[in-house]
Amino acid sequence: MPAEAAEAVGRRPPSPQVNGVRDGDGDRPLRIALLSYKGNPFCGGQGVYVRHLSRELARLGHTVEVIGAQPYPVLDELPGVALTRLPSLDLYRQPDPFRTPGREEFRDWIDALEVATMWTGGFPEPLTFSLRARRHLAARRGEFDVVHDNQTLGYGLLNLERAGLPLVTTIHHPITVDRRLDLAAATSARRRLSVRRWYGFVQMQKRVARRLPSVLTVSGSSRREIVADLGVRPERVHVVPIGADTRLFSPDPSVPEVPGRIVTTSSADVPLKGLVHLVEALAKVRGEHPGAHLVVVGKRPEKGPVADAIARHGLTRAVEFVKGISDPELVDLVRGAQISCVPSLYEGFSLPAAEAMATGTPLVATTGGAIPEVAGPDGQTCLAVPPGDPDALAVALNRLLGDAELRARLGAAGRTRVLTRFTWEEAARGTVRRYREAITVAGRRPRTTPSTSN
């Protein structure tokens, strides 16, 4: 797709040389291209990351142009932030996922590659978005100081520095972790074959990651996984923690506490999120606390382990799913809960944990992946349990539901932890430092003229 086919939304940010705002490092503001191949702010962490990071970068005086594909990111409306739509064929959209596009929808060979990969059971979006992004950026050389890729890791992003575009990439956690857990949960040889084909793009991401000059990640746990699973050299991987929007996620005593409410976020019905274990735990908790009920921020699964567990334990009325709610509605939902729970088997960071803690809602969380780095010590800022253990979850939930003093103490300590360690402003400042390092390093390397024929 030609670069001019991309759709710019809103006014393009002004040149940073004239806005006169500094980020505290004493250097000029930057022009940033932030790439997002998938940016849904209500499903998954990538859209949340793009929205909040772009906002805080703009507040520091930088200009950010988010270049994204469907589902398009939802960005805060403020000077210095703009969205350019770089559309895919949107093959997984609702209500017709895995659709076959009409002939009139095909624009070029990248579209054909996207469809062919889907037809053969693979997931094409990281590769095809990277190819479109390379072509788009090559046509706009000189307009950006740095390119920030949000976990695309596609072949099209290689050699951007040689074209005069310093590259920084965020890897929230390696998708190899999701692949391992999905394979472990597969119940048949056919399902395992399907999982392997779907995750075929992981081999590309490994090859690309090893050649990246600068990788950001959100936790020490993710850093270790990136080095071990993707083979990235340790000195190239830098931890820049993300955080909660503490202006939005804050306590509000006027919001009534709903007795027995447990809230969790499950962006997808996948083994990694551990929702089935929380449902199993709820069934046990209701023996001691009959009013206990679960509100899941996410889509209700029509079939699978979670749906089966809800039906098996007769919990249809005790488990509610909500999706597409506004930010204020989400915050009040969490504020009104007696407990927030993160039952995941693994997380690269866990934004839901940080956001719940920021509201002062007490947290029960597993020790999967980086969750302890966010949630803090057991008994001080949360109650921590082993991942994949419904019995341990039930014990912790029962303990908190029955102890108002403990809930208040953990809630207050959790908010203090987030305010001192995990805010988006600090995440933006840390990211800018890595941008400047990448620009300096790239400036020492010879440049080549990029091809725009792809």
| Tens-place pLDDT, residues 238-282 | 999 998 999 999 999 999 999 999 999 987 678 889 999 999 999
Q: How many CA atoms lie within 13 A of 78 on its CB side?
A: 16
Predicted confidence (pLDDT) at residue 346 exceeds the cutoff of 80: yes
Beta strands in 226-292 (DSSP E): 237-239, 261-265
Could you give the domains of the chain?
3-243+424-443 (3.40.50.2000), 261-421 (3.40.50.2000)
pLDDT tens, residue by residue, 149-181: 999 999 999 988 778 899 999 999 999 999 998
Instruction: Identify the pLDDT of residue 270.
Output: 81
**What are the tokens at 384?**
């921590």
Predicted confidence (pLDDT) at residue 236 exceeds the cutoff of 60: yes
342 membership: H or E segment, kind and range = strand 339-342
Pairwise CA distance, residues 260 & 280, whole Å: 16
Instruction: Identify the pLDDT of residue 444.
Output: 60
Exposed / middle / buried, residue 66 (Cβ in 10 Å: 0-12, 13-18, 19+): buried
Instruction: Identify the pLDDT of residue 443.
Output: 79
Q: Mark out the alpha helices in 259-389 (DSSP H runs).
A: 275-288, 305-312, 327-335, 351-358, 371-375
Pairwise CA distance, residues 17 & 76, whole Å: 22
On average, the pLDDT of the chain sits at: 90
Predicted confidence (pLDDT) at residue 21 exceeds the cutoff of 50: no
Pairwise CA distance, residues 69 & 376, whole Å: 35
Exposed / middle / buried, residue 24 (Cβ in 10 Å: 0-12, 13-18, 19+): exposed
200: confidence class by pLDDT, cuts 50, 70, 90:
very high
Q: Which residue, chain included where needed, has tokens 């809800």?
A: 310
State pTM to two decimals. 0.85
Judge contact between 29 and 19, C-beta under 8 A.
Answer: yes
Across the range 89-100, mean pLDDT stands at 91
Across the range 201-222, mean pLDDT stands at 96
Pairwise CA distance, residues 92 & 102, whole Å: 15
**What are the tokens at 347?**
């997380």
Instruction: Identify the pLDDT of residue 5.
Output: 57
Q: How many CA atoms lie within 13 A of 329 on its CB side?
A: 8
Instruction: Identify the pLDDT of residue 452.
Output: 42
Question: Before 95, cis peptide (omega within 30)?
Answer: yes
Beta strands in 129-218 (DSSP E): 146-150, 167-170, 215-217
188: confidence class by pLDDT, cuts 50, 70, 90:
very high
pLDDT tens, residue by residue, 410-431: 999 999 999 999 999 999 999 9
What is the amino acid identity at position 307?
Answer: A
Predicted confidence (pLDDT) at residue 439 exceeds the cutoff of 80: yes
Torsion on CA atoms 153, 157, 161, 167, rounded to nearest 10: -40
Instruction: Identify the pLDDT of residue 15.
Output: 43
Instruction: Identify the pLDDT of residue 161.
Output: 76
Across the range 328-333, mean pLDDT stands at 96
Predicted confidence (pLDDT) at residue 352 exceeds the cutoff of 60: yes
Across the range 96-109, mean pLDDT stands at 94
